[in-house]
Structure 1
Protein backbone atom coordinates (compact mmCIF):
# COMPACT_ATOMS: atom_id res chain seq x y z
CA UNK A 1 0.00 0.00 0.00
CA UNK A 2 1.43 3.40 -1.06
CA UNK A 3 1.41 6.27 1.36
CA UNK A 4 0.40 9.67 -0.31
CA UNK A 5 3.12 12.31 -0.25
CA UNK A 6 2.06 15.81 0.79
CA UNK A 7 3.98 18.52 -1.06
CA UNK A 8 4.45 20.98 1.81
CA UNK A 9 7.09 22.94 -0.08
CA UNK A 10 4.67 23.83 -2.89
CA UNK A 11 2.04 24.96 -0.39
CA UNK A 12 4.52 27.16 1.41
CA UNK A 13 5.60 28.72 -1.89
CA UNK A 14 2.00 29.52 -2.82
CA UNK A 15 1.40 31.01 0.61
CA UNK A 16 4.46 33.27 0.23
CA UNK A 17 3.23 34.44 -3.17
CA UNK A 18 -0.21 35.18 -1.73
CA UNK A 19 1.27 37.20 1.14
CA UNK A 20 3.52 39.09 -1.26
CA UNK A 21 0.57 39.89 -3.51
CA UNK A 22 -1.53 41.04 -0.56
CA UNK A 23 1.26 43.22 0.82
CA UNK A 24 1.86 44.76 -2.61
CA UNK A 25 -1.83 45.55 -2.94
CA UNK A 26 -1.79 47.22 0.49
CA UNK A 27 1.20 49.36 -0.52
CA UNK A 28 -0.47 50.40 -3.78
CA UNK A 29 -3.72 51.32 -2.01
CA UNK A 30 -1.83 53.27 0.67
CA UNK A 31 0.17 55.17 -1.94
CA UNK A 32 -3.04 55.93 -3.82
CA UNK A 33 -4.70 57.32 -0.70
CA UNK A 34 -1.63 59.43 0.12
CA UNK A 35 -1.57 60.75 -3.45
CA UNK A 36 -5.26 61.65 -3.31
CA UNK A 37 -4.71 63.47 -0.02
CA UNK A 38 -1.81 65.42 -1.51
CA UNK A 39 -3.90 66.38 -4.53
CA UNK A 40 -6.79 67.43 -2.28
CA UNK A 41 -4.40 69.48 -0.17
CA UNK A 42 -2.93 71.26 -3.19
CA UNK A 43 -6.12 71.80 -5.16
CA UNK A 44 -8.60 72.41 -2.37
CA UNK A 45 -7.09 73.12 1.03
CA UNK A 46 -4.35 75.53 -0.10
CA UNK A 47 -6.93 77.43 -2.14
CA UNK A 48 -9.31 77.67 0.79
CA UNK A 49 -6.62 78.83 3.21
CA UNK A 50 -5.11 81.34 0.80
CA UNK A 51 -8.44 82.81 -0.27
CA UNK A 52 -9.62 83.26 3.29
CA UNK A 53 -6.32 84.89 4.24
CA UNK A 54 -6.38 87.15 1.19
CA UNK A 55 -9.96 88.25 1.91
CA UNK A 56 -9.04 89.10 5.49
CA UNK A 57 -6.08 91.12 4.28
CA UNK A 58 -8.22 93.10 1.82
CA UNK A 59 -10.68 93.89 4.61
CA UNK A 60 -7.85 94.92 6.94
CA UNK A 61 -6.37 97.25 4.35
CA UNK A 62 -9.74 98.84 3.71
CA UNK A 63 -10.30 99.39 7.44
CA UNK A 64 -6.91 101.04 7.76
CA UNK A 65 -7.54 103.31 4.80
CA UNK A 66 -10.86 104.33 6.23
CA UNK A 67 -9.28 105.03 9.61
CA UNK A 68 -11.40 102.45 11.44
CA UNK A 69 -8.55 100.51 13.03
CA UNK A 70 -4.84 100.21 13.62
CA UNK A 71 -2.78 97.24 12.40
CA UNK A 72 -4.14 94.04 10.91
CA UNK A 73 -3.02 91.52 13.45
CA UNK A 74 -0.05 90.10 11.58
CA UNK A 75 2.56 92.75 12.24
CA UNK A 76 2.21 94.56 8.91
CA UNK A 77 1.40 98.23 8.83
CA UNK A 78 -0.38 97.65 5.51
CA UNK A 79 -0.10 101.29 4.52
CA UNK A 80 0.71 102.12 0.94
CA UNK A 81 3.48 104.51 -0.05
CA UNK A 82 2.16 108.04 -0.31
CA UNK A 83 0.90 109.43 -3.58
CA UNK A 84 2.99 112.32 -4.85
CA UNK A 85 0.57 115.26 -5.04
CA UNK A 86 0.37 117.56 -8.00
CA UNK A 87 3.16 120.06 -7.91
CA UNK A 88 5.73 117.55 -6.67
CA UNK A 89 7.45 115.60 -9.37
CA UNK A 90 5.35 116.69 -12.33
CA UNK A 91 1.97 118.27 -12.95
CA UNK A 92 -1.28 116.39 -12.68
CA UNK A 93 -3.32 115.43 -15.68
CA UNK A 94 -6.68 116.96 -16.50
CA UNK A 95 -8.98 117.09 -13.50
CA UNK A 96 -12.53 115.78 -13.89
CA UNK A 97 -15.54 116.77 -11.84
CA UNK A 98 -15.36 113.49 -9.92
CA UNK A 99 -11.80 114.12 -8.80
CA UNK A 100 -10.25 111.76 -11.35
CA UNK A 101 -7.03 112.78 -13.05
CA UNK A 102 -6.83 111.50 -16.59
CA UNK A 103 -3.69 110.62 -18.48
CA UNK A 104 -4.54 112.33 -21.75
CA UNK A 105 -1.54 114.65 -22.00
CA UNK A 106 -0.44 115.36 -18.44
CA UNK A 107 1.88 113.42 -16.15
CA UNK A 108 -0.01 111.44 -13.55
CA UNK A 109 1.77 111.24 -10.23
CA UNK A 110 1.59 108.09 -8.15
CA UNK A 111 3.22 106.10 -5.39
CA UNK A 112 6.96 106.75 -5.29
CA UNK A 113 8.50 105.15 -2.20
CA UNK A 114 8.60 101.38 -1.76
CA UNK A 115 6.86 99.29 0.89
CA UNK A 116 8.65 96.70 3.00
CA UNK A 117 9.47 93.30 1.55
CA UNK A 118 6.40 91.01 1.54
CA UNK A 119 4.20 93.86 2.81
CA UNK A 120 0.65 93.97 1.44
CA UNK A 121 -0.01 97.58 0.52
CA UNK A 122 -2.59 97.68 -2.29
CA UNK A 123 -5.67 95.87 -3.59
CA UNK A 124 -6.00 94.63 -7.16
CA UNK A 125 -9.51 94.42 -8.55
CA UNK A 126 -10.54 92.92 -11.90
CA UNK A 127 -14.31 93.29 -12.40
CA UNK A 128 -14.52 90.81 -15.28
CA UNK A 129 -13.02 88.09 -13.08
CA UNK A 130 -14.81 89.13 -9.88
CA UNK A 131 -11.38 89.43 -8.29
CA UNK A 132 -10.19 91.52 -5.34
CA UNK A 133 -6.84 90.46 -3.97
CA UNK A 134 -3.99 92.04 -1.97
CA UNK A 135 -0.84 93.25 -3.72
CA UNK A 136 2.39 92.69 -1.78
CA UNK A 137 5.97 93.74 -2.44
CA UNK A 138 8.07 90.93 -3.94
CA UNK A 139 7.22 87.67 -5.70
CA UNK A 140 8.47 85.09 -3.18
CA UNK A 141 6.27 82.02 -2.88
CA UNK A 142 6.30 81.67 0.90
CA UNK A 143 6.01 85.37 1.70
CA UNK A 144 3.58 86.47 -1.01
CA UNK A 145 2.26 84.16 -3.74
CA UNK A 146 1.40 81.15 -1.56
CA UNK A 147 -0.68 83.45 0.65
CA UNK A 148 -3.03 84.03 -2.28
CA UNK A 149 -1.62 87.50 -2.83
CA UNK A 150 -0.45 89.06 -6.08
CA UNK A 151 3.24 89.99 -5.99
CA UNK A 152 4.86 93.19 -7.25
CA UNK A 153 8.07 92.57 -9.21
CA UNK A 154 10.92 94.38 -7.41
CA UNK A 155 12.49 97.08 -9.53
CA UNK A 156 9.36 97.82 -11.53
CA UNK A 157 7.26 100.96 -11.14
CA UNK A 158 4.74 101.54 -8.37
CA UNK A 159 1.07 102.30 -9.18
CA UNK A 160 0.54 105.50 -11.11
CA UNK A 161 4.20 106.08 -11.96
CA UNK A 162 5.61 106.27 -15.46
CA UNK A 163 7.01 102.84 -16.23
CA UNK A 164 5.69 99.34 -15.72
CA UNK A 165 3.75 98.29 -12.62
CA UNK A 166 4.35 94.54 -13.01
CA UNK A 167 2.57 91.83 -11.01
CA UNK A 168 2.65 88.03 -10.73
CA UNK A 169 0.12 85.58 -9.31
CA UNK A 170 -0.58 81.87 -9.10
CA UNK A 171 -2.83 80.36 -11.73
CA UNK A 172 -3.44 77.14 -9.81
CA UNK A 173 -3.35 76.32 -6.07
CA UNK A 174 -2.76 78.74 -3.18
CA UNK A 175 -5.75 80.92 -3.98
CA UNK A 176 -5.06 80.92 -7.73
CA UNK A 177 -5.99 84.61 -8.21
CA UNK A 178 -4.89 84.58 -11.86
CA UNK A 179 -6.57 81.31 -12.84
CA UNK A 180 -8.80 83.01 -15.42
CA UNK A 181 -6.36 85.69 -16.54
CA UNK A 182 -6.72 84.41 -20.11
CA UNK A 183 -10.34 85.63 -20.11
CA UNK A 184 -9.31 89.28 -20.06
CA UNK A 185 -9.98 91.20 -23.25
CA UNK A 186 -8.92 94.56 -24.61
CA UNK A 187 -10.83 97.31 -22.86
CA UNK A 188 -11.37 95.43 -19.58
CA UNK A 189 -10.71 97.49 -16.45
CA UNK A 190 -8.11 96.63 -13.85
CA UNK A 191 -8.32 98.70 -10.66
CA UNK A 192 -5.46 99.19 -8.20
CA UNK A 193 -6.42 100.72 -4.86
CA UNK A 194 -3.92 102.17 -2.39
CA UNK A 195 -4.22 104.23 0.76
CA UNK A 196 -4.11 107.46 -1.23
CA UNK A 197 -5.65 106.81 -4.64
CA UNK A 198 -7.53 104.48 -6.97
CA UNK A 199 -5.75 103.78 -10.27
CA UNK A 200 -7.77 102.46 -13.19
CA UNK A 201 -5.87 100.65 -15.93
CA UNK A 202 -7.38 99.31 -19.14
CA UNK A 203 -6.26 96.05 -20.76
CA UNK A 204 -4.52 96.77 -24.04
CA UNK A 205 -2.61 93.69 -25.24
CA UNK A 206 -2.06 90.02 -24.41
CA UNK A 207 0.93 87.74 -24.97
CA UNK A 208 -0.61 84.25 -24.80
CA UNK A 209 2.64 82.33 -24.29
CA UNK A 210 6.28 83.11 -23.69
CA UNK A 211 9.20 81.60 -21.80
CA UNK A 212 9.60 82.07 -18.02
CA UNK A 213 12.87 83.92 -18.67
CA UNK A 214 11.33 86.57 -20.92
CA UNK A 215 12.34 89.53 -18.76
CA UNK A 216 11.46 92.04 -21.45
CA UNK A 217 7.78 91.71 -20.56
CA UNK A 218 8.29 93.52 -17.24
CA UNK A 219 10.72 96.24 -18.35
CA UNK A 220 9.80 99.91 -18.04
CA UNK A 221 8.80 99.82 -21.70
CA UNK A 222 7.54 96.24 -21.93
CA UNK A 223 8.46 94.24 -25.00
CA UNK A 224 8.98 90.50 -25.27
CA UNK A 225 12.55 89.41 -25.97
CA UNK A 226 11.25 86.04 -27.15
CA UNK A 227 8.48 87.37 -29.39
CA UNK A 228 9.47 90.96 -30.23
CA UNK A 229 6.24 91.57 -32.12
CA UNK A 230 4.53 91.79 -28.72
CA UNK A 231 5.11 94.91 -26.67
CA UNK A 232 5.61 98.67 -26.80
CA UNK A 233 8.16 101.22 -27.96
CA UNK A 234 7.37 104.39 -25.97
CA UNK A 235 7.27 105.29 -22.27
CA UNK A 236 3.85 105.27 -20.60
CA UNK A 237 2.04 104.20 -17.43
CA UNK A 238 1.92 100.43 -17.97
CA UNK A 239 0.44 97.53 -16.01
CA UNK A 240 1.70 93.98 -16.53
CA UNK A 241 -0.01 90.85 -15.18
CA UNK A 242 1.86 87.54 -15.46
CA UNK A 243 1.04 83.94 -14.58
CA UNK A 244 1.89 80.38 -15.60
CA UNK A 245 0.41 78.68 -18.64
CA UNK A 246 -0.99 76.16 -19.52
CA UNK A 247 -2.90 75.48 -16.33
CA UNK A 248 -1.29 73.10 -13.80
CA UNK A 249 2.14 73.66 -15.34
CA UNK A 250 4.86 76.30 -15.11
CA UNK A 251 6.32 75.69 -18.56
CA UNK A 252 5.33 79.05 -20.08
CA UNK A 253 4.09 82.47 -19.03
CA UNK A 254 0.89 84.30 -19.97
CA UNK A 255 1.23 88.10 -20.02
CA UNK A 256 -1.52 90.75 -20.03
CA UNK A 257 -0.64 94.42 -20.51
CA UNK A 258 -2.69 97.49 -19.71
CA UNK A 259 -2.35 101.28 -19.65
CA UNK A 260 -3.35 103.76 -16.98
CA UNK A 261 -6.67 105.44 -17.77
CA UNK A 262 -7.37 107.55 -14.67
CA UNK A 263 -6.40 108.29 -11.07
CA UNK A 264 -8.93 109.15 -8.38
CA UNK A 265 -7.44 110.47 -5.11
CA UNK A 266 -9.11 109.19 -1.93
Structure 2
Protein backbone atom coordinates (compact mmCIF):
# COMPACT_ATOMS: atom_id res chain seq x y z
CA UNK A 1 0.00 0.00 0.00
CA UNK A 2 1.36 3.39 -0.97
CA UNK A 3 1.61 6.28 1.47
CA UNK A 4 -1.27 8.01 -0.35
CA UNK A 5 -3.47 4.97 0.01
CA UNK A 6 -2.51 4.60 3.65
CA UNK A 7 -3.50 8.21 4.36
CA UNK A 8 -6.82 7.74 2.60
CA UNK A 9 -7.51 4.57 4.60
CA UNK A 10 -6.66 6.36 7.87
CA UNK A 11 -8.93 9.29 6.95
CA UNK A 12 -11.76 6.92 6.07
CA UNK A 13 -11.33 5.14 9.41
CA UNK A 14 -11.48 8.45 11.28
CA UNK A 15 -14.54 9.54 9.34
CA UNK A 16 -16.20 6.22 10.06
CA UNK A 17 -15.55 6.59 13.80
CA UNK A 18 -16.94 10.13 13.73
CA UNK A 19 -20.06 8.93 11.92
CA UNK A 20 -20.51 6.06 14.37
CA UNK A 21 -20.01 8.34 17.36
CA UNK A 22 -22.41 10.92 15.96
CA UNK A 23 -25.02 8.24 15.32
CA UNK A 24 -24.62 6.87 18.85
CA UNK A 25 -25.04 10.30 20.40
CA UNK A 26 -28.10 10.91 18.25
CA UNK A 27 -29.65 7.64 19.36
CA UNK A 28 -29.00 8.50 23.00
CA UNK A 29 -30.79 11.82 22.61
CA UNK A 30 -33.69 10.16 20.79
CA UNK A 31 -33.99 7.56 23.55
CA UNK A 32 -33.85 10.25 26.22
CA UNK A 33 -36.52 12.23 24.38
CA UNK A 34 -38.79 9.19 24.13
CA UNK A 35 -38.36 8.48 27.85
CA UNK A 36 -39.19 12.09 28.71
CA UNK A 37 -42.26 11.95 26.49
CA UNK A 38 -43.41 8.72 28.16
CA UNK A 39 -42.90 10.31 31.59
CA UNK A 40 -44.96 13.33 30.58
CA UNK A 41 -47.71 11.09 29.22
CA UNK A 42 -47.63 9.09 32.45
CA UNK A 43 -47.91 12.23 34.60
CA UNK A 44 -50.52 14.06 32.56
CA UNK A 45 -52.63 11.15 31.33
CA UNK A 46 -52.07 7.85 33.07
CA UNK A 47 -52.07 9.21 36.65
CA UNK A 48 -55.49 10.70 35.90
CA UNK A 49 -56.73 7.39 34.51
CA UNK A 50 -55.49 5.55 37.61
CA UNK A 51 -56.98 8.19 39.91
CA UNK A 52 -60.31 7.93 38.11
CA UNK A 53 -60.47 4.22 38.89
CA UNK A 54 -59.47 4.83 42.51
CA UNK A 55 -62.15 7.52 42.85
CA UNK A 56 -64.86 5.23 41.47
CA UNK A 57 -63.83 2.47 43.89
CA UNK A 58 -63.78 4.88 46.83
CA UNK A 59 -67.25 6.18 45.95
CA UNK A 60 -68.55 2.61 45.80
CA UNK A 61 -67.05 1.77 49.19
CA UNK A 62 -68.54 4.91 50.76
CA UNK A 63 -72.03 4.41 49.35
CA UNK A 64 -71.99 0.71 50.28
CA UNK A 65 -71.02 1.66 53.83
CA UNK A 66 -73.82 4.21 53.96
CA UNK A 67 -76.31 1.61 52.74
CA UNK A 68 -75.51 -0.53 55.77
CA UNK A 69 -77.13 2.06 58.00
CA UNK A 70 -75.72 3.80 61.02
CA UNK A 71 -75.49 7.52 61.63
CA UNK A 72 -73.23 10.53 61.46
CA UNK A 73 -72.44 10.19 65.14
CA UNK A 74 -68.84 11.29 65.81
CA UNK A 75 -66.27 8.58 65.17
CA UNK A 76 -62.58 8.31 64.48
CA UNK A 77 -61.85 7.55 60.85
CA UNK A 78 -58.75 5.63 59.84
CA UNK A 79 -56.11 7.41 57.79
CA UNK A 80 -57.12 7.12 54.14
CA UNK A 81 -60.70 6.11 54.97
CA UNK A 82 -63.36 7.77 52.82
CA UNK A 83 -66.26 9.26 54.74
CA UNK A 84 -67.90 11.92 52.54
CA UNK A 85 -68.31 13.15 48.98
CA UNK A 86 -67.41 16.71 48.01
CA UNK A 87 -69.50 18.28 45.26
CA UNK A 88 -68.54 21.44 43.38
CA UNK A 89 -71.39 21.73 40.84
CA UNK A 90 -69.89 24.61 38.85
CA UNK A 91 -66.78 22.52 38.14
CA UNK A 92 -68.61 19.20 37.70
CA UNK A 93 -66.60 17.77 40.59
CA UNK A 94 -67.85 14.95 42.82
CA UNK A 95 -64.92 13.45 44.69
CA UNK A 96 -64.62 11.33 47.83
CA UNK A 97 -63.18 12.90 50.96
CA UNK A 98 -60.80 10.72 52.97
CA UNK A 99 -59.22 11.21 56.36
CA UNK A 100 -55.75 12.73 56.29
CA UNK A 101 -53.67 14.37 53.58
CA UNK A 102 -51.16 11.57 53.01
CA UNK A 103 -49.87 11.85 49.45
CA UNK A 104 -49.71 8.12 48.70
CA UNK A 105 -52.81 6.97 50.58
CA UNK A 106 -55.11 9.84 49.68
CA UNK A 107 -54.07 12.64 47.33
CA UNK A 108 -52.33 10.54 44.65
CA UNK A 109 -55.44 8.35 44.49
CA UNK A 110 -57.43 11.33 43.25
CA UNK A 111 -59.20 11.82 46.58
CA UNK A 112 -59.56 14.97 48.62
CA UNK A 113 -57.96 14.78 52.04
CA UNK A 114 -59.27 16.20 55.33
CA UNK A 115 -56.70 17.99 57.48
CA UNK A 116 -57.02 15.83 60.57
CA UNK A 117 -53.70 15.50 62.39
CA UNK A 118 -51.76 17.46 64.98
CA UNK A 119 -51.49 21.20 64.43
CA UNK A 120 -53.34 20.78 61.12
CA UNK A 121 -56.40 19.14 62.67
CA UNK A 122 -59.59 20.87 61.55
CA UNK A 123 -63.30 20.49 62.24
CA UNK A 124 -65.77 18.10 60.65
CA UNK A 125 -68.85 19.35 58.77
CA UNK A 126 -71.17 18.22 61.57
CA UNK A 127 -69.35 20.32 64.19
CA UNK A 128 -71.38 23.31 65.30
CA UNK A 129 -68.38 25.60 64.90
CA UNK A 130 -65.09 25.32 63.06
CA UNK A 131 -63.36 25.06 59.73
CA UNK A 132 -63.59 21.88 57.65
CA UNK A 133 -60.36 22.06 55.64
CA UNK A 134 -59.39 19.77 52.77
CA UNK A 135 -56.57 19.42 50.25
CA UNK A 136 -56.55 18.12 46.69
CA UNK A 137 -54.27 17.97 43.67
CA UNK A 138 -54.52 20.73 41.09
CA UNK A 139 -52.67 18.81 38.39
CA UNK A 140 -52.28 15.08 37.69
CA UNK A 141 -53.65 12.24 39.87
CA UNK A 142 -57.26 13.18 39.09
CA UNK A 143 -56.68 16.92 39.62
CA UNK A 144 -59.99 17.50 41.49
CA UNK A 145 -59.04 21.08 42.39
CA UNK A 146 -57.60 22.14 39.04
CA UNK A 147 -60.19 24.85 38.42
CA UNK A 148 -61.11 26.05 41.91
CA UNK A 149 -59.64 29.43 40.94
CA UNK A 150 -62.75 29.83 38.76
CA UNK A 151 -65.12 29.78 41.74
CA UNK A 152 -66.90 33.04 42.54
CA UNK A 153 -68.61 34.25 45.73
CA UNK A 154 -71.94 32.52 46.07
CA UNK A 155 -70.99 29.38 44.14
CA UNK A 156 -72.13 26.29 46.08
CA UNK A 157 -69.80 23.70 47.59
CA UNK A 158 -71.58 20.66 49.04
CA UNK A 159 -70.30 18.01 51.43
CA UNK A 160 -72.42 14.85 51.40
CA UNK A 161 -72.18 12.49 54.36
CA UNK A 162 -74.13 9.40 55.40
CA UNK A 163 -77.05 11.39 56.81
CA UNK A 164 -76.62 14.98 55.73
CA UNK A 165 -75.87 17.44 52.94
CA UNK A 166 -73.82 20.40 54.15
CA UNK A 167 -74.12 23.29 51.72
CA UNK A 168 -71.54 26.05 51.71
CA UNK A 169 -71.27 29.17 49.58
CA UNK A 170 -67.88 30.20 48.26
CA UNK A 171 -66.89 33.42 50.02
CA UNK A 172 -63.32 34.37 49.12
CA UNK A 173 -60.03 33.22 47.61
CA UNK A 174 -56.36 33.69 48.44
CA UNK A 175 -54.58 33.19 45.09
CA UNK A 176 -51.15 32.49 46.56
CA UNK A 177 -49.58 31.86 49.95
CA UNK A 178 -46.58 29.86 51.23
CA UNK A 179 -47.19 26.23 52.27
CA UNK A 180 -46.02 27.23 55.76
CA UNK A 181 -49.03 29.52 56.21
CA UNK A 182 -51.24 27.21 58.23
CA UNK A 183 -53.24 30.13 59.64
CA UNK A 184 -55.55 29.65 56.65
CA UNK A 185 -56.78 26.49 58.40
CA UNK A 186 -57.70 28.13 61.70
CA UNK A 187 -61.29 27.91 62.99
CA UNK A 188 -61.61 31.53 61.86
CA UNK A 189 -59.16 31.43 58.94
CA UNK A 190 -56.75 34.32 58.56
CA UNK A 191 -57.31 36.19 55.31
CA UNK A 192 -60.77 34.73 54.73
CA UNK A 193 -62.70 37.83 55.72
CA UNK A 194 -64.59 35.88 58.40
CA UNK A 195 -64.63 37.76 61.69
CA UNK A 196 -66.46 35.48 64.10
CA UNK A 197 -66.91 31.77 64.82
CA UNK A 198 -68.97 29.92 62.26
CA UNK A 199 -69.10 26.81 60.12
CA UNK A 200 -66.58 27.20 57.33
CA UNK A 201 -64.89 25.15 54.60
CA UNK A 202 -61.38 25.60 53.22
CA UNK A 203 -60.10 24.12 49.95
CA UNK A 204 -56.32 24.09 49.46
CA UNK A 205 -54.25 23.17 46.42
CA UNK A 206 -50.86 23.83 44.84
CA UNK A 207 -50.16 26.84 42.65
CA UNK A 208 -49.00 27.86 40.05
CA UNK A 209 -50.11 24.92 37.96
CA UNK A 210 -47.68 22.01 37.67
CA UNK A 211 -45.69 23.26 40.67
CA UNK A 212 -45.93 22.94 44.45
CA UNK A 213 -44.25 26.25 45.26
CA UNK A 214 -47.29 27.95 46.79
CA UNK A 215 -50.83 27.19 47.90
CA UNK A 216 -54.14 28.53 46.63
CA UNK A 217 -56.91 28.81 49.21
CA UNK A 218 -60.68 28.97 48.69
CA UNK A 219 -63.05 29.58 51.60
CA UNK A 220 -66.76 29.06 51.99
CA UNK A 221 -69.43 29.48 54.66
CA UNK A 222 -72.17 26.97 55.49
CA UNK A 223 -75.62 28.15 54.49
CA UNK A 224 -77.69 24.97 54.73
CA UNK A 225 -77.71 21.64 56.56
CA UNK A 226 -80.16 19.24 54.90
CA UNK A 227 -80.95 15.64 55.89
CA UNK A 228 -80.31 13.23 53.02
CA UNK A 229 -83.75 11.74 53.70
CA UNK A 230 -85.24 14.99 52.34
CA UNK A 231 -83.46 14.62 49.01
CA UNK A 232 -80.70 16.55 47.35
CA UNK A 233 -80.40 20.27 48.06
CA UNK A 234 -81.13 22.82 45.36
CA UNK A 235 -77.40 23.39 44.99
CA UNK A 236 -77.13 19.91 43.41
CA UNK A 237 -80.40 19.76 41.52
CA UNK A 238 -79.91 23.11 39.79
Same fold judged by TM-score > 0.5? yes
Q: Contact 1:239 / 1:258 at 8 angstroms: preserved in 2?
A: yes
Alignment of 1:39-78 (within 5 A): 39-67=40-68
Q: Does 1:207 align with 2:207?
A: no
Q: Distance in 1 between matches of 2:138 and 2:103?
A: 13
TM-aligned CA distance change 1:21 to 1:185, over 3 Å = same
How many residue pairs are counted as aligned between the two chains? 221
Q: Deviations over 1:21-42 (max 9, x none)?
A: 0000000000000110010011
Alignment of 1:152-167 (within 5 A): 152-154=114-116, 155-161=121-127, 162-167=129-134
Q: Contact 1:217 / 1:231 at 8 angstroms: preserved in 2?
A: no
What secondary structure is seen at the aligned counterpart in 1 of 2:173?
strand
* Deviation for aligned residue 1:115: 0.9
Q: Distance in 1 between matches of 2:199 and 2:178?
A: 24
Match of residue 104, structure 2, among 142, 159, 163: 142
What secondary structure is seen at the aligned counterpart in 2 of 1:172?
coil
Q: Does 1:173 align with 2:140?
A: yes
Q: Distance in 2 between matches of 1:223 and 1:3?
A: 86
TM-aligned CA distance change 1:163 to 1:3, over 3 Å = closer
Give the TM-score of the pair, scaled to structure 1.
0.79
Task: Tell me which moved more, 59-68 or 181-190.
Answer: 59-68
* Deviation for aligned residue 1:64: 2.9
* Deviation for aligned residue 1:212: 1.2
* Deviation for aligned residue 1:6: 3.0
In proportion to residue count, which structure has more helix? 2
Q: Contact 1:136 / 1:152 at 8 angstroms: preserved in 2?
A: yes
Q: Distance in 1 between matches of 2:98 and 2:114?
A: 6
Q: Distance in 2 between matches of 1:261 and 1:232?
A: 14
Q: Distance in 2 between matches of 1:34 and 1:83?
A: 48
Q: Distance in 1 between matches of 2:3 and 2:24?
A: 37
